[in-house]
Structure 1
Amino acid sequence: MGLRSFLEGTEPTVLTEPVDPRFELPALATRDETRPVVFDDVVGHPDVRAVANLVSTRSLIGSALGVEPSEIIDEVSSAMDDPSPVSRTEPAAFEHVADDPTIAEELPVPIYYDEHERQYFASTIVIAKDPDTGVHNLSFHRMMVQEDNRLVMRMVERHLHDIYTRSGEELDIAIVVGVHPAVEIAAATSFSPDMSELELANRLHGGELATTEIHGLQIPSEAEVVMFATITDELADEGPFVDLSRTWDKVRQQPVVEVNELWTRPDPLARVIVPGKREHAHLMGIPQEPRIYRIVENTVPTVRNVVLTPGGCSWLHGVVQLEPRADGDPKNAGMAALSAHPSMKKVTLVDPDVDPADPDAVEWATATRMQPHEDIVTIEGAKGSSLDPSQNYERGVTSKWIVDATMPRDRDREAFLEATVPGAEDVSLEEYQ
Structure 2
Amino acid sequence: MSDLRNYISKLKKSKDLKIVKTKVSTKFEIAGITAKVDGLDAVLFENIKESKFHLVSNLVGTRKRFALAVGTTEANIHQKIISAIKKAKRPKVIPYGKFMENKSKNVYSMPIVTHFEKESGPFITSSIAYAVNPDTGKQNSSFHRLMPIDKTHFSIRMVEGRHLHRCFIDAKEHGEDLKIAITVGVHPAISIAGAYQAEWGKDEIDIANSLLDGKLTLAKLPYSGLNVPSNSEIVMEGKILRDKTHPEWMVEMLQTYDHKRSQPIFELENLYFRNNPIFHDVLSGYSEHRLLMGMPIESKLNGELKKTFPQTVQVSMTNGGCNWLHAVVQIKKKNESDPKKIIKKTFESHRSLKQVTIVDEDIDPNNAESVEYAMATRFQADKDLVILKNVRGSSLDPSSNQQKLKTAKIGFDATRSFSKRPEGFEMAKIPKIDKIKLKKYFK
Instruction: State whether TM-score is above 0.5.
Output: yes
Are residues 1:41 and 2:47 paired?
yes
Which residue pairs with 2:271 in the alignment?
Answer: 262
Q: 1:426 to 1:111 in 2, by over 3 A?
A: farther
Which residue pairs with 2:422 in the alignment?
Answer: 412
Q: CA deviation at 1:255?
A: 1.2
TM-score of the two chains, using structure 2 as the length reference: 0.89
Q: CA deviation at 1:87?
A: 3.0
Q: CA deviation at 1:393?
A: 4.7
Which residue pairs with 2:312 in the alignment?
Answer: 303
Q: CA deviation at 1:122?
A: 1.1
Are residues 1:25 and 2:30 paired?
yes
Are residues 1:135 and 2:138 paired?
yes
Are residues 1:292 and 2:293 paired?
no
CA distance in 2, matches of 1:116, 1:355: 37
Mapping for residues 89-168 of structure 1, pairs under 5 Å: 89=94, 91-101=96-106, 103-104=107-108, 106-131=109-134, 133-156=136-159, 157-167=161-171, 168=174
CA distance in 1, matches of 2:189, 2:75: 16
Over the matched positions of the two proteins, sequence identity in percent amounts to 32
Q: CA deviation at 1:273?
A: 0.4
Q: 1:336 to 1:130 in 2, by over 3 A?
A: closer
Mean alpha-carbon deviation: is it higher for 295-304 or for 35-44? 295-304
Q: 1:329 to 1:235 in 2, by over 3 A?
A: same
**Which AA in structure 2 matches 1:120?**
F
Mapping for residues 325-336 of structure 1, pairs under 5 Å: 325-336=334-345
CA distance in 1, matches of 2:219, 2:402: 46
Are residues 1:85 and 2:90 paired?
yes
**Which AA in structure 1 matches 2:164?**
L
Mapping for residues 29-428 of structure 1, pairs under 5 Å: 29-33=34-38, 34-45=40-51, 47-87=52-92, 89=94, 91-101=96-106, 103-104=107-108, 106-131=109-134, 133-156=136-159, 157-167=161-171, 168=174, 169-215=176-222, 216-297=225-306, 299-393=308-402, 396-409=405-418, 410-412=420-422, 415-417=425-427, 419=429, 422=432, 424=434
Q: 1:230 to 1:64 in 2, by over 3 A?
A: same
Q: CA deviation at 1:408?
A: 3.3
Mean alpha-carbon deviation: is it higher for 112-121 or for 183-192? 112-121
Q: Deviations over 1:18-72 (max 9, x none)?
A: 1111111011111122221111111111x21110111111221112112222322
Provide the aligned length of Structure 1 versus Structure 2.
Answer: 425
SS of 2:320's equivalent in the other structure is: helix
CA distance in 1, matches of 2:135, 2:54: 39
Runs of at least 5 residues in structure 2 that lack an aligned partner in the other structure: none
CA distance in 1, matches of 2:110, 2:431: 52
Runs of at least 5 residues in structure 1 that lack an aligned partner in the other structure: none
SS of 2:36's equivalent in the other structure is: coil
**Which AA in structure 2 matches 1:42?**
I
**Which AA in structure 1 matches 2:180?**
I
CA distance in 2, matches of 1:344, 1:284: 13
Mean alpha-carbon deviation: is it higher for 205-214 or for 263-272? 205-214
CA distance in 2, matches of 1:178, 1:361: 38
**Which AA in structure 1 matches 2:211?**
L
SS of 1:9's equivalent in the other structure is: helix
Q: Deviations over 1:100-124 (max 9, x none)?
A: 32x12x0111111112341111110
Q: Deviations over 1:64-112 (max 9, x none)?
A: 11222232222222221221221363742223534432x12x0111111
Q: CA deviation at 1:345?
A: 1.1
TM-score of the two chains, using structure 1 as the length reference: 0.91
**Which AA in structure 2 matches 1:201?**
A
**Which AA in structure 2 matches 1:7?**
I
Q: 1:245 to 1:18 in 2, by over 3 A?
A: same
8 Å CA contact 2:135–2:201 kept in 1: the answer is: no
Which residue pairs with 1:5 in the alignment?
Answer: 6
Q: CA deviation at 1:204?
A: 1.1
Q: 1:355 to 1:332 in 2, by over 3 A?
A: same
